[in-house]
């Protein structure tokens, strides 16, 4: 839940970084998530449990591949992002009434939620169906990726589904 999206290529783990990253926010989150993941995986799971986690991720990926934001080396194209973001935002608004947030980031679409609690709950639920998300205040950020979700249908449907669960409160 530290809002970190990483990529693995062969034996190399690629972590996010950028000139806009702040030590007290994004960089701290990257370091925290790596430290916690390594600690819990290495120190709290037996080898059989580690294999079970790997099998679970493989199974989840077969049913619902991970959708995370596109970046420069993984298919990010500003023109495609803009078009796809608009389509996803329209689909989300039609199905949920949630509007696109004014502030955006490369690879992300912001959606304005009714409360911080709702944004947090939606973020957590999205992670269970393999859609990476992040949150800033009441804005839920969902990934825009023309390679893994070319029409934006996976993300739009996932947001609609989790919104229907959280709006019942």
**For the chain, which residues make up each domain, given as ranges?**
7-63, 72-166
pLDDT in tens, the chain (169 residues): 566 777 777 788 888 777 778 888 888 888 998 899 889 889 999 999 999 999 998 898 888 888 988 876 665 677 888 899 999 999 999 999 999 998 778 889 999 999 999 999 999 999 889 999 988 999 999 999 988 899 999 999 999 999 999 876 5
Tell whether domain 72-166 is in CATH 3.40.50.40.
no
CA-CA-CA-CA torsion sign (66, 84, 21, 159): negative
Distance CA 123, CA 129 (A): 10
CA-CA-CA-CA torsion sign (22, 25, 26, 32): positive
Look up the pTM and report it. 0.80
Q: Which residues pair with 142 in a beta bridge?
A: 109
User: Collapsing DSSP states into helix, strand and coil, what is residue 79?
Assistant: helix
């Amino acid at each position: 839940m530290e809002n970190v999206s990483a990529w693995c290529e062969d034996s190399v783990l690629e972590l996010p970084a950028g000139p806009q990253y702040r030590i007290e926010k994004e960089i701290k989150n990257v370091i925290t998530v790596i430290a916690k993941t390594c600690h819990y995986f290495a120190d709290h799971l037996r080898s059989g449990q580690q294999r079970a986690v790997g099998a679970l991720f493989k199974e989840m990926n077969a049913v619902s591949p991970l959708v995370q934001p596109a970046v420069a080396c993984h298919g990010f194209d500003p023109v495609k992002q803009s078009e796809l973001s608009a389509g996803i935002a329209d689909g989300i608004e039609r199905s949920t009434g949630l509007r696109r947030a004014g502030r955006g980031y490369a690879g992300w679409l912001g959606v304005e939620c009714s409360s911080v609690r709702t944004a947090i709950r939606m973020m957590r639920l999205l992670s269970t169906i393999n859609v990476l998300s992040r949150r800033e205040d009441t804005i839920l950020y969902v990934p825009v990726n023309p390679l893994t979700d070319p029409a934006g249908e996976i993300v739009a449907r996932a947001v609609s589904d989790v919104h229907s669960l959280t709006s019942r409160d």
